[in-house]
Structure 1
Amino acid sequence: MKGTLIASLLFLTAFSAAFSQAKQPRQSAESNPVVVEKGLIKVSIMYPYAEGKTFNMEYYETKHMPMVAGFLGSNLVKYTIEKGLASGIPNQPLPFMAIGTFYVKNISDYQAAIGPNRDAIRADFPNYTNTTPVILVSEVVK
């Protein structure tokens, strides 16, 4: 009886520890330590997929996004680049080929930085895509 009780306690302790670890978010060596905080402005630049549309991810990652990030200066908290893989609905076309996202502290400073550089940003589009992006500006709430 005493052996069964000890075995049960050991099992519960191991189960509790495993459950606790499973609930923790996983960190990889590549994860970015910058936390996206409530109140930041998120600018999402989404490139819709359509037949005949192209996207050069290497150019976007190494040239275009760093160029725009440079315009944003100290207002920029971080930026991310996502490559579209599939639709959330099986057997449906990919909605976006790629999404670039800038997290900034202040929308007015973002607009002041982008405004004078808008022509340079747009002139760079043909270097990596032949589609027109959809842009969403939002506020991080959680």
Structure 2
Amino acid sequence: MIKVTVLYPNGDGKTFDMDYYTNKHMPLMATLFGDAVKCIAIDKGGASGTPNTPVPFLAIGYLYFDKLSDYEKALEPYVERIRNDFPKYTNIQPLIQISEVLQ
């Protein structure tokens, strides 16, 4: 199984609409990716590991697929549509990491 992690770094002037992300964007991902996506999860930044410092990430999204080729095949027809949705909830350029899930 692979996990696509989408990280939204915090910083000066960064904005993030969690309501839109949870109620519109991620459900859109579920619809577009269909049966290829096995699970979707969202983290909302709550605190950093150091007291009195800002959270490093405002949000983190997770999408799970059986294999990398399933993700790539599901993403390809919709990549522009997905990117065009970003400005509706954030001004952050997300960081994306694809990992193999070991446990």
For the superposition of Structure 1 and Structure 2, which TM-score range results when normalised by the shorter chain? over 0.9
Q: Which runs of 4+ in 1 moved over 6 A?
A: none
Question: Which one is further off, 48-57 or 85-94?
Answer: 85-94
103, 119, 123: which one aligns with 2:64:
103
15, 18, 32: which one aligns with 1:71:
32
Counterpart contact for 1:77–1:104, Cα < 8 Å: yes
Q: Higher relative contact order at CA 8 Å, sep ≥6: structure 1 or structure 2?
A: 2
96, 118, 135: which one aligns with 2:96:
135
Give the superposition deviation at 1:64. Answer: 0.5
- Tell me the secondary structure at the aligned position of residue 54 of structure 1: coil
User: Which ranges of structure 2 fall in alignment gaps of 5 or more residues?
Assistant: none
More strand by percentage = 2
Give the superposition deviation at 1:45. Answer: 0.4
Whichever residue aligns with residue 63 of structure 1, its letter is: K
- Tell me the secondary structure at the aligned position of residue 12 of structure 2: coil
Number of residue pairs matched by the alignment: 103
Identity %: 50
Give the superposition deviation at 1:70. Answer: 1.5
Inter-partner Cα distance in structure 1 for 2:32 and 2:67: 14
CA RMSD of aligned residues (A): 1.0
Whichever residue aligns with residue 124 of structure 1, its letter is: D
User: Normalized against structure 2, the TM-score is what?
Assistant: 0.94
More helix by percentage = 1
Q: Where do residues 1-142 of structure 1 align in structure 2 (5 Å cutoff)?
A: 40-142=1-103
User: Normalized against structure 1, the TM-score is what?
Assistant: 0.69
Inter-partner Cα distance in structure 2 for 1:76 and 1:63: 17
Inter-partner Cα distance in structure 1 for 2:80 and 2:21: 17
Give the superposition deviation at 1:91. Answer: 2.9
User: Which ranges of structure 1 fall in alignment gaps of 5 or more residues?
Assistant: 1-39
- Tell me the secondary structure at the aligned position of residue 42 of structure 2: strand
Highest CA radius of gyration, 1 or 2?
1
